[in-house]
Amino acid sequence: MKKGLAIGGIITALVILIAAGTVYFRYGFVFGEGVKAGVLNRVVYKGYIFKTYEGYIIQDGISSKQLSTKGGKVTTGTAIQSNEFYFSVTDKAIADSLMYHCGGKKVQLHYKEYKGTLPWRGQEKFIVDKIVSVEDGE
């Protein structure tokens, strides 16, 4: 009887450790970090229960794309494209600076990437934690 309780306790401890490790790696472990640059388009404070700061920047770029494949011939060309980088901000001071001083300006933002989102941290997996630089664009 005692042996069965000991094995049950070990299995329970293992299940708890595996669950805790999974939760940590999904929501607490920083998967990647870097810097993105672009024109700040929007930062808003929104949410139903958890109010969070959400925003995005527009990154300009040029890409080569396959345009058509008529008659077995592949035609390629270059096109101007814009990519949007959606992010959340947890620090109110950074969010206020972005909202009130950086709109429409070219910014470089340092971010951390997580594998999962938490409602109180924001809607996005990318969390901006620092403004690297701001340019007026004029």
Q: In this predicted structure, what is the pLDDT of residue 71?
A: 61
Q: In this predicted structure, what is the pLDDT of residue 74?
A: 61
Q: In this predicted structure, what is the pLDDT of residue 3?
A: 75
Q: In this predicted structure, what is the pLDDT of residue 4?
A: 74
| Contact by Cβ (8 Å): 58, 41 | yes
| Eight-class DSSP state of 25 | I
Q: In this predicted structure, what is the pLDDT of residue 25?
A: 93
Q: Which residues have C-beta within 8 Å of that of residue 83, sequence separation ≥ 6?
A: 38, 58, 59, 61
Q: Please give the Cα distance from 57 to 42 (Å, whole number).
A: 7
**Cα 90 to chain center, whole Å?**
12
Regions of the chain short of the pLDDT cut 70: 1, 62-81, 137-138
Q: In this predicted structure, what is the pLDDT of residue 136?
A: 82
Write out pLDDT tens, residues 60-81: 776 666 555 556 666 666 666 6
Distance between start and end Cα atoms, the chain: 79
| Contact by Cβ (8 Å): 89, 97 | no
Look-up of token digits 């901006």: 128
| Contact by Cβ (8 Å): 82, 61 | yes
